[in-house]
Structure 1
Amino acid sequence: MYDRYEGLIFDMDGTILDSEPTHRLAWREVLKGYGMHFDEQSVVALNGAPVWQIARHIIEMNHAELDPHRLAAEKTALVSQMLPERVQPLPLVEVVKTWYGRRPMAVGTGSDSHLAEMLLTRLGLRQYFTAVVAADHVSHPKPAPDTFLRCASLMGVAPEKCVVFEDADFGLQAAAAAGMDAVDVRQQ
């Protein structure tokens, strides 16, 4: 089905790993300490964005005076503790295993690199990917095309010869801006 592509790029959270519920739980726990809350639908709409951008959105929604980078760091620290025990691969991992050795593959994620590398390694998935490009590897994360363009470059594949697997609007926008085809895994 993907024979016409020379490179495959996968988002991580919600695409190949069932980590989204744990991310939302971590947000609830961190925000509870500040007496803050978040609207789940508006945060889901930001899936794929770097954690600090989501933190900035939550702070604005709560009319709070906090540093978004500090709040993001707290959430990342908590989710780093929670995820290893809770996260499982999603069925799309079978596509990864099927294409391993046949095409170069990369992960392009809105998570930070430490978390992405830790999860992929712990679940025995890191070996399948030529590259892992995280939000802290690019100046302009999703919905900008930089994450996926860097994936293509590290794989040595022209962007127009790549396909991106995504579960978030920001990621789909980033793939389109990069000139790549995309598969919206929410519709599979």
Structure 2
Amino acid sequence: MKNKKTAFLFDLNGTVIDDMEYHAEAWHEILTNDLGADLTWEEVKKEMYGKNREVLNRIFGEGRFSDEEADKLSVQKEEYYQQAYKPHLKLINGLHDFLKQAAANGVKMAIASAAITDNIDFVVDNLAIRQYFDAVVSADDVTTSKPDPETFLKAAEKLQADPADCIVFEDAPKGVEAAQNAGMRCVVITTAHPKEDFEKYDNVIAYIADYTDAYITRFFSEQS
């Protein structure tokens, strides 16, 4: 599975950190309390993928908010999220050791996420892991969010890696679909979705609960 050209592309939320409940809480606060959307907690969780503007457009329709209004709402949502999550900020179990192993083996790595740049910086700088990543692609760097493959293809381009040599680490069906559309294999972290949610994708090579899984701990010893 691994070769000298293998590159790792990591989604952020639910993949590097287990923070999706905090995003849901922030969106629920903005959408229902501030904007009056008639959405349950579960409905909010299903809609909160892609860029923040895309979330607003899906729920309220195109043109409901001006660019200025959408930007203001986006800032409010991320401020709420960061304030609530910062006391709990930590890497998913086993990831730090895996990043160190990958770096020691010369594996190029990137973060390729629908998160905004500020949220990526919030994570990688507060957790002191920026040195492991050779490239970062955020929502601010792409035109179309996942499941469009643009995020992953841009990350591969920045790493000068062939898509076929990239392994994507994802937690969401839309992300796995984006990896499939990019021609990339995918390891699914089941922080937010069960295996059953990924059955239609043929690019999944493993399911893990976290980075202490045997598949991960044996990765370099058995596949070098």
Normalised-by-shorter TM-score class: 0.7 to 0.9
Change (3 A) 1:169 1:39: farther
User: What is the match of residue 6 of structure 2?
Assistant: 6
Q: Note if contact 2:28-2:41 (Cα within 8 Å) is conserved in structure 1.
A: no
What TM-score results when the alignment is normalised by the length of structure 2?
0.73
Q: Note if contact 1:8-1:106 (Cα within 8 Å) is conserved in structure 2.
A: yes
User: What is the match of residue 98 of structure 1?
Assistant: 101
SS of 1:100 mapped into structure 2: helix
Deviation at 1:78, TM superposition (A): 2.1
Identity %: 28
Change (3 A) 1:26 1:89: same
User: What is the match of residue 36 of structure 2?
Assistant: 35
User: What is the match of residue 170 of structure 1?
Assistant: 174
Whole-Å Cα distance in 2 between the matches of residues 47 and 91 of structure 1?
Answer: 24
Q: How many residues align structurally?
A: 185
SS of 2:74 mapped into structure 1: helix
- Alignment deviations for residues 90-111 of structure 1 (CA, whole Å, 9 cap, x no partner): 1251422321232000111111
Could you list the runs of 5+ residues in structure 1 that have no partner in the other structure?
Answer: none
SS of 1:97 mapped into structure 2: helix
- Alignment deviations for residues 123-181 of structure 1 (CA, whole Å, 9 cap, x no partner): 11211111111111111221111111111111111111100010011111110111111
Change (3 A) 1:92 1:146: farther
2:135 is aligned with 1:131: yes
Deviation at 1:35, TM superposition (A): 3.0
SS of 1:140 mapped into structure 2: coil
User: What is the match of residue 56 of structure 2?
Assistant: 55
Q: Note if contact 2:51-2:114 (Cα within 8 Å) is conserved in structure 1.
A: yes
Whole-Å Cα distance in 1 between the matches of residues 24 and 177 of structure 2?
Answer: 22
Whole-Å Cα distance in 1 between the matches of residues 101 and 47 of structure 2?
Answer: 30
2:122 is aligned with 1:121: no
What TM-score results when the alignment is normalised by the length of structure 1?
0.86
SS of 2:104 mapped into structure 1: coil
Greater mean deviation of Cα atoms: 44-53 or 159-168: 44-53
Deviation at 1:69, TM superposition (A): 2.3
- Structure index of larger Rg: 2
Whole-Å Cα distance in 2 between the matches of residues 84 and 97 of structure 1?
Answer: 23
User: What is the match of residue 180 of structure 1?
Assistant: 184
Letter in 2 for 1:141: S
Whole-Å Cα distance in 1 between the matches of residues 4 and 180 of structure 2?
Answer: 17
Could you list the runs of 5+ residues in structure 2 that have no partner in the other structure?
Answer: 191-206, 209-224
Whole-Å Cα distance in 2 between the matches of residues 2 and 42 of structure 1?
Answer: 39
Whole-Å Cα distance in 2 between the matches of residues 81 and 56 of structure 1?
Answer: 25
> What is the Cα-based RMSD across aligned positions, in Å?
2.3
